[in-house]
Chains A and B, each alone.
Chain A
Amino acid sequence: MQMTFTAADEAFREELRNFIERECDPGSRERVGKGLGLGKEDYVDWHRKLATKGWSCPHWPVEHGGCDWTPVRHYIFEEETGEACCPPPVPFGPEMVAPVVWTFGTREQQQQHLPPILAGDLWWAQGYSEPNSGSDLASLKTAARLDGDHYIVNGTKTWTTMAHYADWIFLLVRTSSEGKKQEGITFLLVDMTSPGITIHPIITMEGGHEVNQVVFDDVHVPAANRIGEENRGWTYAKFLLGYERFNMAGVPQAKRQMKRLRHIAGDQGIDSDPGFRARMADAEIQIMALESTMLRLLSSVAAGKDPGSEASYIKIRGTEIDQLMTELAMEAAGPYVLPYAPRALEEGWNEEPLGPEYAAPVAPDYFNTRKVTIYGGSNEIQKNIIAKHVLGL
């Protein structure tokens, strides 16, 4: 690969590796490596460790606490933390709401919200989808009515990831039903301890609890918690979606899955099967193509150019590859994916595993990963966007 690292880059890599070895909890790393789920503490602990070094939100502008890194540094950071199985960043605070806050928020909002996100002191959730507004997000109905210096919020948000961990939530609410549906939406920041908020867990098909339905019943939100102008929330939401692009690729995750796949295939004795070998090679080449897109993007950003159309399909390809990897793991593990052992996925499990030690998470992972082509704007919606905005159809 044509990628040159300066001596300073290599020194950075060394420093980062040492930091990970010293500071990243080995238990968390082991769980990531085995494809087991993480608890809130795993995420928060690593985020706080990174914060002590000033590395918790490297993509942020320097004045808000980000790192003055070249794209190559960002690449090294992602590669090393991925390779070392560090807990992945939780996007809702650092990567989603924070850019909105520093771009459209008031000075007070910036001072209130950015430091705790940087430090890992507050957990955020995203309140976008509703039971009847999924792909057609702009049809959302959760209502906010201004009453003095407060909004009164009523409605239901759904598929809210890790709302049960959240201290705050950013919400899209309807403040007007006049004009186009996109024109009556407002962006609010809401304290999850406000009276009137109820969280109902949604158990997904594999038995896990990540997502929730969040019901708002006469919840009072200070008008000072509104981002920007009333009825301009759709603009801020679109801005946020554009900001997500760097984080949907999941290249380090895919590489880790590849490593696990080789291990499973070896143990099952199918790594010598010509058909399966070809499919593993094909998957690896798909990962290389995705990574090449990321590098092309980084390079053009480094050269001061706007990212081009190559950015548009990252979510599509990243999620397709994610699903491919979980499916190949299913094939490799074969009949031993059958036992359902939810407790084997939890921390502290030390009983004799049922079947091979790698088997327990394989099927739940495959089932759970069907969500990735649905969430964050389904892949069908992504293709609509590309057809319209890139191809001009």
Chain B
Amino acid sequence: MLNLELNEGQLLLRESVDRFVEREYNFERHRRSVADDGGFSRSVWKEFAELGWLGVGLESEFGGARDVAILMEGLGRGLVVEPFLPSIVMAAKAIAIAGGGDEGSEIIDRVTAGDHLLSFAFAEPRSRYHIDHVTTRATRSGDGWILNGRKSLVFNGDTADSLVVAARTSGSARDRDGLSLFLVDGEGDGVSRRAYPTNDSRRAADIDFHDAPGRLLGMPGEAHDVVSEVVDRAAAAVCAESLGLMSRLNDLTVDYSKTREQFGQPIGRFQVLQHRMVDMFVALEESRSMTTVYMGDVDASDATERQKAVSAMKVQCDKAGRLVGQEAVQLHGGIAMTQDYEAGHHFKRLSVIHRLFGDIDWHLNRFASL
């Protein structure tokens, strides 16, 4: 018997994130976080830790992709910019999968307590969506390793205390074998970070490593599977986030169409606009169906099963996000073009999500090849 219902714990988790966004994270709060040092609020992050959210996806009780999705959907709805995705979904998970020994466990404990921030440095200036396109090299030096190369688009990489870095210990760019993961001190020797805001009001960094010392996580040369799983998990997480973004945009659009009057009536009375809002509704609901049914497959031990589910969800959610985002702006009209109105910001985040962890073309190709 198919059971897609949330269990009691998951219902509580959903309630807690919905309540947080509803009561504490309105658009003004979002803007304050964006304007804060490092582009997010440390006190909000601490609150996440107190709510127990920073262990979601990592600890046994809320360790699954569906748990992560519940949280991400709520955070998406509130346009929450605090670095849950890079720090928890990606970097901490990478340490947990790769196996970081005692030091790894200790770091994860500090991360879930909200005392330590991580980011995951996998992309490079020429890697596009290929996770194996890694030219950053790690070589042995005494007992340890040193890294050389450049990573780009490291989300919140400017404020991360430690970085989980994909580097090559053998082979050349695009080889599947020879990838390894390293833990590198964000403030350590040989690490220079060029930080910048991103087009969705978040922050990222390009990071240069010059003989930067790193600690190997797991076995050398065998990190491909870890990186692949982490990037898939991140893709699944932003699918869930996009549900939250879309639901907020649909609500804003329907509400606005009921209050904005032109030609002597609310514009929501015009049939041509009604049909388009119905299309937006259908796009969201179809995406919700897909993620409800397939999110669990992200935890599958079989990589093909996981990849198939992730690619299907990403294509569905990106297509829906494109439609909902563009139509929300169009149906609002000029007001949604402005920086002071919320909808444009949701649209921008959806547009960025489309270009993260593989776009529609990339996932269609992967899906077709599986």
Residues in A lying within 8 Å of B, measured CB to CB: 129, 132-136, 139, 158-159, 202-207, 268-270, 273, 275-276, 330-331, 334-341, 354-356, 363-364, 366-367, 370-371, 373-375, 378, 380, 383
Contacting pair A334 B272 (CB below 8 A): no
Contacting pair A129 B338 (CB below 8 A): no
Contacting pair A338 B338 (CB below 8 A): no
Query: Which of B125, B339, B356, B364 contacts A203, CB < 8 Å?
Result: B339
- Assembled-state Cα–Cα distance A129/B339 (Å): 19
Contacting pair B333 A378 (CB below 8 A): yes
Kindly report which residue of chain B lies nearest to residue A134, judged by CB atoms: B333
- Assembled-state Cα–Cα distance A338/B261 (Å): 36
List residues of chain A with CB within 8 A of the CB of B128: 268-269, 334-335
Contacting pair A335 B262 (CB below 8 A): no
Do A334 and B359 contact each other (CB < 8 Å), given the known contacts A370-B330, A370-B337, A374-B330?
yes
Query: Which of B263, B273, B345, B364 contacts A205, CB < 8 Å?
Result: B345
- Assembled-state Cα–Cα distance A378/B333 (Å): 8
The yes or no answer to B355 lying at the interface (CB within 8 A) is yes
Could you list 26 examples of A-B contacts with CB < 8 Å?
A135-B333, A136-B264, A139-B263, A205-B336, A205-B338, A268-B128, A273-B361, A275-B364, A330-B351, A330-B354, A330-B355, A334-B128, A334-B129, A334-B359, A335-B123, A336-B152, A338-B204, A339-B153, A339-B199, A340-B198, A355-B152, A356-B125, A363-B352, A366-B351, A370-B329, A378-B333
Do A134 and B129 contact each other (CB < 8 Å), given the known contacts A205-B339, A335-B123, A340-B196?
no
Residues in B lying within 8 Å of A, measured CB to CB: 123, 125, 128-129, 152-153, 194, 196-201, 204, 206, 261-264, 267, 272-273, 326, 329-330, 333-334, 336-340, 344-345, 347-348, 351-352, 354-356, 359, 361, 364-365
Kindly report which residue of chain A lies nearest to residue B339, judged by CB atoms: A203
List residues of chain B with CB within 8 A of the CB of A356: 125
List 8 tightest A-B contacts by C-beta distance, closest first: A205-B344, A136-B262, A363-B199, A203-B339, A340-B197, A338-B198, A340-B199, A136-B263
- The main secondary structure of chain A at its interface with chain B is mixed
Kindly report which residue of chain B lies nearest to residue A268, judged by CB atoms: B128
List residues of chain B with CB within 8 A of the CB of A158: 334
Contacting pair B333 A331 (CB below 8 A): no
Further contacts, 6 of them, CB under 8 A, given A134-B334, A136-B263, A375-B334 = A134-B333, A203-B339, A330-B354, A339-B198, A363-B351, A364-B199
B120 → chain A closest CB, angstroms: 14
- Assembled-state Cα–Cα distance A139/B262 (Å): 8
Query: Which of B199, B273, B337 contacts A371, CB < 8 Å?
Result: B337
List residues of chain B with CB within 8 A of the CB of A336: 152-153
Query: Which of A133, A202, A355, A364 contacts B338, CB < 8 Å?
Result: A202
Kindly report which residue of chain B lies nearest to residue A133, judged by CB atoms: B262
List residues of chain B with CB within 8 A of the CB of A370: 326, 329-330, 337, 347
List residues of chain B with CB within 8 A of the CB of A134: 262, 333-334
List residues of chain B with CB within 8 A of the CB of A354: 152, 194, 196, 206
Do A331 and B359 contact each other (CB < 8 Å), given the known contacts A134-B262, A204-B339?
yes
Do A331 and B339 contact each other (CB < 8 Å), given the known contacts A135-B262, A338-B153, A338-B199?
no
A328 → chain B closest CB, angstroms: 11
Kindly report which residue of chain B lies nearest to residue A267, judged by CB atoms: B126
Contacting pair B153 A367 (CB below 8 A): no
- Assembled-state Cα–Cα distance A133/B361 (Å): 41
Most buried by A among B199, B201, B344, B355: B199
Query: Which of B125, B267, B355 contacts A355, CB < 8 Å?
Result: B125
